[in-house]
């Protein structure tokens, strides 16, 4: 399955399992701090066995095809949403698995990397989604601090609408691959008859200029 087909299939799965949520009156606040008329809940995938299997198989396809030149052989899940995806991928590919914390635990060994720390082994960070890329940079820096090479990340969903995100990632020598993004999800939504025109219109406005959309909503709410 090619990259374009993987993107369409993933978009359909996210819509079908209700992972694409809408709130036009009270926008969602993303982890990046931006407001959004929609929230993509990739955590729902693990509750649907057939969807989970399809998604993890496509993530494996992406590692094998899109990252062939880098040949990663070590899977690291991002706390917490990335861990289930990483665990299945590592088991199916026969690769070692670890997971990286956002910050050290305040008890025990105060570790950032859980599992075996395999220094010098080329790794890929697995997460559920990416908004502005800041959490990916933080995770990768934490991984690199342990002498683990990590220039790759793989997510199910990438917003792919924040202009500065790819620049920041490139500056930090991080390449993020994704199964699908907002444009593909929006296109699939437009092909269906289940979504109201008001929702599609507001999503389009958000995708065209998410920063302005967010700032306008913050002003409207007085925050």
Per-residue pLDDT of the chain (223 residues; tens, 9 = 90+): 899 999 999 999 999 999 999 998 899 999 888 999 999 999 999 999 999 999 999 999 999 999 999 999 999 999 999 999 999 999 999 999 999 999 887 665 678 999 999 999 999 999 999 999 999 999 999 999 999 999 999 999 999 999 899 999 999 999 999 999 999 999 999 999 889 999 999 999 999 999 999 999 988 876 5
Torsion sign (Cα): 69, 102, 95, 86: negative
Residue 214: domain span: 3-221
Q: Are 128 and 79 in contact (CB under 8 A)?
A: no
What is the Cα–Cα distance from 95 to 81, expressed in whole angstroms?
19
For the chain, the farthest-separated pair of C-alpha atoms sits apart, in whole angstroms, at: 53
Q: How many domains does the chain have?
A: 1
Q: What is the CATH number of the domain that holds 208?
A: 3.40.50.2020
Torsion sign (Cα): 41, 43, 45, 47: negative
Classify strands 175-181 and 150-158 as parallel, antiparallel or unpaired: parallel
Token readout for 174 is 């991080």
3-state secondary structure 135-164: HHHHHHHHHHCCCCCEEEEEEEEECCCCHH
């Amino acid at each position: 399955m090619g990259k374009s087909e993987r993107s369409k299939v993933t978009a359909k799965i996210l819509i079908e399992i209700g992972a694409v949520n809408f709130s036009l009156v009270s926008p969602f606040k993303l982890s990046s701090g931006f407001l959004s008329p929609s929230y993509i809940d990739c955590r729902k995938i693990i509750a649907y066995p057939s969807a989970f299997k399809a998604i993890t198989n496509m993530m494996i396809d992406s590692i094998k095809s899109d990252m062939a030149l880098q040949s990663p052989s070590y899977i690291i899940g991002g706390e917490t949403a990335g861990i289930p995806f990483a665990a299945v991928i590592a088991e199916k590919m026969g690769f070692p698995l670890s997971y990286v914390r956002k910050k050290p635990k305040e008890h025990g060994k105060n570790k950032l990397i859980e599992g075996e720390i395999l220094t010098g082994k080329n790794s890929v960070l697995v997460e559920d989604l990416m908004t502005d890329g800041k959490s990916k940079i933080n995770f990768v820096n934490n991984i690199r601090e342990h002498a683990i090479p990590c220039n790759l990340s793989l997510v199910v969903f990438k917003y792919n609408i924040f202009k500065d995100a790819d620049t920041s990632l490139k500056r930090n020598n991080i390449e993020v691959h994704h199964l699908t993004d907002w444009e593909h999800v929006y296109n699939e939504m437009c092909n269906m008859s289940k979504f109201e025109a008001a929702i599609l219109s507001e999503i389009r406005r958000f995708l065209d200029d998410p920063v302005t959309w967010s700032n306008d909503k913050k002003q409207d709410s007085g925050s």
